[in-house]
Chains A and B, each alone.
Chain A
C-alpha cells in the first residue's frame, strides 16, 4: 500500500486515455487516446511534425485546453478538478515568440507571477535579479529594458526566467528556441540543457527538431497524427524501427552529397 502511494506521487503528470478534437461539425481529432506518464524530474520531449498534436498535449496539461475524453492528472488531480489559476501559477510556460508583455520592462515581466502571488517588493526584486543571472543576462544592464530592445535570443532568455519566477515544479516549453538563428539556438539549447539538469524540474518540451530532442530529453515521445508512435530513451529511440522514427532519424543525415 505504501509503495503504491509512493509510486503514484512520482507520476507528476499523467494522461489517461485522452482525446481532443476541434469543436466543429467535422470533429477532427487533434489527439487521440493518449495515455502517458511523466515522472517527477523527467525531461520529456514531445517530438512530431507540425500538426501532430504536440502543442495540444502541452495545453491540456495547464488547462488551456480541456480533454473531450479521458483525463489529464497533474500531481494526481484531474485538471477538471483543479482551480485553473492555481494550477497555472505552479506551471512555468515558455512559448516560441516568448509572449513577453511589451508594456512591461524585463524586470516586470520576470516578476509578474511573484507579484500576482503577492510577494513583497524586496523578495520579488531579489528573485528577478537571481533569475536574470541564471539565464545569463546581467540585471544591471537588462532589468529596465523593454522587450523590443532585446534580441530574439535575449527575449527567449527572459521568457525562461519569467517561467521560472515563482519556482514552479513543472515547466512546459513549446518550441522555445524555434524562431532563433541556428547559432543562438545551439547556444541556448546547450545552456538550457545544463540548467534543466541543475533545476531538477519536471519538464515537458515540444519540438520538431530531433537534434534538440536528443540533447535535452530523458525520454522522447514521438507523435504522428495525434497518436503516440514511439516512447523511448534517446539512445534507444534512434534504434527503433518505425517509419516515422526513420523519417526523423534520416533528417539528421546532412553529410554533403548524401542525397540529392
Chain B
C-alpha cells in the first residue's frame, strides 16, 4: 500500500475526529480574533493623537510578536488567572499575537488619510469625534481589515501550537504525528489548517476590496 493510500484511508476513517478538531480550532481562532479586534481597533483609534502612548503600545505589541509562539505558551502557563493548561491560556497567547497587525493597521489606516480631506473636515466645523468616526474611520476601514486578515492567518497557524498546552484543535494531530512519525497524522492536522487559512484569506480579501475607497 502506498503512503498516499494510508493517508487517504486515515482521513476517511477519522473523518469525524478531524472535523471535530477543525471546529475546535476555528472556535479558538474566532474567540481570539474577536477579543483582539475589540482591543486592537479601539486602542488604535485612541493612540492616533497621543504620540507617547502610541510608541509604548506599538512597542509592547511588537515585543509579543518577537517571542517564539511555543515559548509564549510556556511563559503563560504559570501565570495565575490567565495561565494554566487549556483553552484559556491559548486564547490569551493568540490575542497577544494578533494584536500587533490589528493595532498597527488601525493606526496606519487612521493616519494615512489625505491631509486635504482632514483639513476640509476641520474647517467645516466637524468636532474631533465626528472627524474620527465619520471621516477617518470609514476611510481607514479597508486598511484595518487588511490587518485583521493578516492577524487571522497568523492566528490559524499559531493555534496549531496551542495543542502543546492542551488547548485541542488541529495541532493535536500534528504533535501526535511528530511523536509517532506518522505523515498521515501530521497531514490530518496540517491540511485542514492550511485550508482554513486559505479560506479566511479569500473571504476577508473579498470584504476588504469591497470596502476600499479610492
Contact = CB atoms under 8 A, between A and B. Distances in A.
Interface of A: 62, 64, 84-89, 91, 93, 95-103, 112-113, 116, 146, 148, 162, 172
Contact of B125 (A86, A100, A101, A148): A86
A64 B135 contact: no
Interface string B104-135: 00000000001011011111111100100001
Contacts of A101: 117, 120-121, 135
B184 interface: no
26 contacts: A64-B119, A64-B122, A85-B127, A88-B122, A88-B125, A93-B123, A95-B120, A96-B116, A98-B116, A99-B114, A99-B119, A99-B120, A99-B121, A100-B120, A101-B117, A102-B114, A102-B117, A102-B139, A102-B213, A113-B124, A116-B125, A116-B126, A116-B130, A146-B213, A148-B214, A172-B123
Taking residues whose C-beta sits less than 8 angstroms from the other chain, chain B's interface range is 10 to 19
Nearest to B211: A103
Interface in B26-45: none
Contacts of B116: 95-99
Interface of B: 114, 116-117, 119-127, 130, 135, 138-139, 213-214
Contacts of A99: 114, 116-117, 119-121
Most buried by B among A93, A98, A101: A101
B87 to A, nearest CB: 39
A85 B117 CA distance: 17
Nearest to B119: A99
A113 B123 CA distance: 11
Contacts of A84: 125
B117 to A, nearest CB: 5
A103 B125 contact: no
Determine which residue in A89, A91, A97, A172 has the highest number of CB atoms from chain B within 10 A of its CB, and name it: A97
Given A93-B120, A95-B119, A102 B127 contact: no
Contacts of B124: 88-89, 93, 112-113, 116, 162
Contacts of B213: 102-103, 146
B125 A89 contact: yes
B117 A100 contact: yes
Contacts of A148: 214
Contacts of B135: 101
Contacts of B121: 99, 101
The interface centre, meaning the residue of A62, A64, A102 with most chain B CB atoms within 10 A of its CB, is A102
A146 B127 CA distance: 24
Given A100-B117, A113-B124, A113-B125, 12 more contacts: A62-B123, A64-B122, A84-B125, A86-B125, A87-B125, A93-B123, A95-B120, A96-B116, A97-B114, A102-B114, A103-B139, A116-B124
